[in-house]
Amino acid sequence: MSKVIVITGASSGIGEATAKLLAKDGHQIVLGARREPKLAAIAQDIRSEGGKAVYNVTDVTKVEQVEALADLAIKTYGKIDVWLNNAGIMPQSQLIQKKISDWDAMIDINIKGTLYGIGAALPYMAQRESGHFIDISSVAGHVAHSGGAVYSATKWAVLAISEALRQEVADKGIRVTVISPGAVKTGLLGSVTDEGVRSGMEKFYDEYAIPVERVASTIKQAIDLPEDSSWNEVVIRPTRQML
């Protein structure tokens, strides 16, 4: 059955791959991200293959823009079946460096962006007593390491928020899934502001990272599961990744 699927962070990486995969399944896609040229190109790619897609420029740190993305889904397709909270950044640095702008950006995008997405879609889902939130966390939400304190904290927060949400909405028939990827070939490394750290991470990703399509297919499987069952959390790593 065709579903209306809203995706934040949809202009590249996991978001783009998931949008294109799900559109091929006949789902109606609502794209949100900050880069309008990329959004327009992805929407056109989907339409050129017979799919359905619309988009809004969306900065997930702006609650009014996230609400507008939900409104677009309702006005265009009449409902929201799935909301994928995918937007995120991954600056890495030692706490002693006091990269406060990085800290603030991660908290605003990774945590507040997830909350704003939930807040935008939940009233519609609760009214219909149906829906599915898919929140992107990370293996860093399970294992902290030197240089990743704030990033790990934000991804642990996604886990906590998602579990509390699951308990709040279980009796309403709303599903909640957390996807925690390991090293995946996305643009996340571009958000690492420390050049030394980024260089080391690039070498690791070059050796181990898996294509974004692996995560997209996992998201598809979570959506395709019968409505009476939920994958509440999936950790997906490259087979050779230790942590």
The DSSP annotation for 1-35 comes to ---EEEEESTTSHHHHHHHHHHHHTT-EEEEEES-
**Residue 55: active-site member:** no
How distant, in Å, are the alpha carbons of 137, 180, 204 from that of 154? 8, 12, 22
What is the 3-state secondary structure of 170-223?
A: HHHCEEEEEEEECCECCCHHHHCCCHHHHHHHHHHHHHHCECHHHHHHHHHHHH
Q: Residue 223: which residues within 8 A CB-CB, separation 6 or more?
A: 3, 5, 22, 82, 132, 134
Among residues 116, 124, 151, 208, the one annotated as catalytic is 151
Burial letters 95-106, b for 16+ CB under 10 A, else e: eeeebeebbebb
The catalytic residues are 151
